[in-house]
Amino acid sequence: MPLKRVFARVRRSNPGADDQAADVAARDTLTATLAANEQEYAALKKQLEDTLARKEKESAGELKRLEETEKELSKQLVKLSAEHSQMTKALNADAALAATTDAEIGKLEAASAAAEQEVEKAHGAAAKAAETAKAAEAAAAEKQAAYEAAMGLGNSASDGAKNLQAQLSDAKDEVSSSESTMKAAEMRQKHLAKELKASEAKLADARKSGGAQEKAHAALSADVAKLCSRGWYSTMPPFKMRDMPEERKQNFIALKQEVKISELIPVLMKEAPETAATTLSRTLDLYEKGQLRGPAAFIMIKNAVGLSNCKAAFEELVPGYKHDHSAFTYEHPIVV
């Protein structure tokens, strides 16, 4: 209040006093008012400093917690990625083993089929040899006399006509040979059947193991996808390392950019609670009317929503700015 108005008010309140006494009274009144204002200003200043210190301490604690969470998630992601890689290798090995086993089973099945054909041929040859032997025996019985007379004439190796004894001997040899061939074919078939059964069991084990590996692989892929959805890493597989030097460089450039209060407040209003939204709206109104400058308005915004939310808004507004590369309270784009 101007001094003249104060003096005039004091004189009106003391009409009988002279001008000097009125001036003294006005001065005393003004002194008391100034002292009261100074006390109120000191109290408000202390309250503001306490609030800023508390907010800064809370922001530092939140940042530390987020950094620890990021480290833990990074460790989990690296571990899961390593397991994912090992599981993929195991799956590829199981698939190769299954393919090799399938090929072996195919070969064994073909060999078994060929052995069955050999057995069938041996059975046919044995049956034919048995019929020949039976016919020869019948002929020998019918011509016993001629057989006895012809005994000793010719042999099985001679170039001439064979006698009945030689024919009977050749038939028996053929039956014996056919039976030996048939037994050998049957033994070969049994051996191939055992190999086929063992290969089928081996394939079943490989497929069973492959199924378990596929389930584990799917579970690991789901775990990795969950971690990626939290925003710490954006691309797979299995994960992409961040280029920290480049990020710090871009963040340093972003710190020199200017952000207007009229740009910052609309971003913060998206998720601000009702009480904070009221403060933000009032601050924006004072800023647009020219009654509040950018730095002062930013202090009111920080007190309303917190520094972490402000830095998150800066990330959205300023390309290259990273909250996790700006640990200190003053590390943010210039507010104008």
**Where do the structural domains in the chain lie, given as residue ranges?**
79-229, 244-336
In tens, the pLDDT along 174-208 reads 667 667 767 776 777 777 777 777 766 776 666 66
The pLDDT of residue 164 = 57
- pLDDT range class, residue 84, cuts 50, 70, 90: confident
Q: Per-residue pLDDT tens for 274-320? A: 888 899 999 999 999 988 888 888 998 989 899 889 999 999 999 99
Query: What pTM was computed for the model?
Result: 0.32
Read off the pLDDT band of 160 (50, 70, 90). very low
Cis peptide before 237 (omega within 30 of 0): yes
Q: Where does the chain have alpha helices with state H? A: 3-13, 19-142, 144-149, 164-229, 244-254, 261-269, 274-288, 294-305, 307-317
pLDDT band at 20 (very low <50, low <70, confident <90, very high): confident
Share of residues in the chain with pLDDT > 70 (%):
65
Distances in Å between the Cα of 101 and the Cα atoms of 59, 96, 210 are 62, 9, 13
Q: 8: pLDDT confidence band, cut at 50, 70 and 90?
A: low
Of the given ranges (5-19, 210-224, 301-315), which has the lowest mean pLDDT? 5-19
Q: What is the pLDDT of residue 236?
A: 46
| Residue-averaged pLDDT of the chain | 75
* 8 Å CB contact between 55 and 306: yes
